[in-house]
């Protein structure tokens, strides 16, 4: 079945990227096995809620992956800095460079945990 609608009839679905179409008008009904718009479907009630739940779960998973990638990029930038800082500051602080590097790494992990 083909249909048409106005964008003003679209409403967001529970804070997701999905939208609900409240008013529409059909303009073609296919009596053949291949519909005009193969992506079109009608969803109601429990199925719509399940789709909204899955969309929210997908959005949360995407956000989690993006945060992990950002942490990886931060770590890639911090590690060379921490290595150079520990080598340069360790004699002044009276510490072994490896011990200072481990201390800086532990502090970076604590700061990352506080952000999460």
What is the reported pLDDT for 70? 79
Residues 37-87 pLDDT 10s: 666 666 667 777 777 788 888 888 888 788 778 777 777 888 888 888 888
109 vs 40, which has greater pLDDT?
109
Residue 14 backbone class (left: φ over 0; alpha: ψ -120 to 50; beta: rest): left
C-alpha distances (whole Å) from 107 to each of 76, 111, 113 are: 15, 6, 10
What is the reported pLDDT for 29? 67
What is the reported pLDDT for 65? 82
3-class SS of residue 84: helix
Q: What angle do CA 24, 28, 34 make, to 5 degrees?
A: 115
Indicate the pLDDT class of residue 7, thresholds 50, 70 and 90: low
């Amino acid at each position: 079945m083909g249909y048409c609608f106005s964008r003003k009839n679209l409403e967001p679905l529970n804070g997701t990227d999905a939208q609900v179409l409240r008013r529409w008008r059909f303009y073609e009904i296919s009596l053949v096995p291949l519909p005009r718009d193969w992506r079109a479907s009608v969803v109601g009630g429990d199925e719509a809620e399940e789709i909204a739940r899955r969309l929210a779960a997908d959005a949360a998973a995407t956000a989690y992956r993006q945060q992990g990638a950002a942490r990886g990029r931060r770590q890639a930038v911090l590690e060379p800095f921490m290595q150079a800082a520990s080598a340069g500051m360790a004699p002044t602080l009276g510490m072994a460079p490896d011990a200072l590097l481990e201390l800086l790494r532990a502090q970076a992990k604590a700061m990352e945990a506080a952000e999460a």
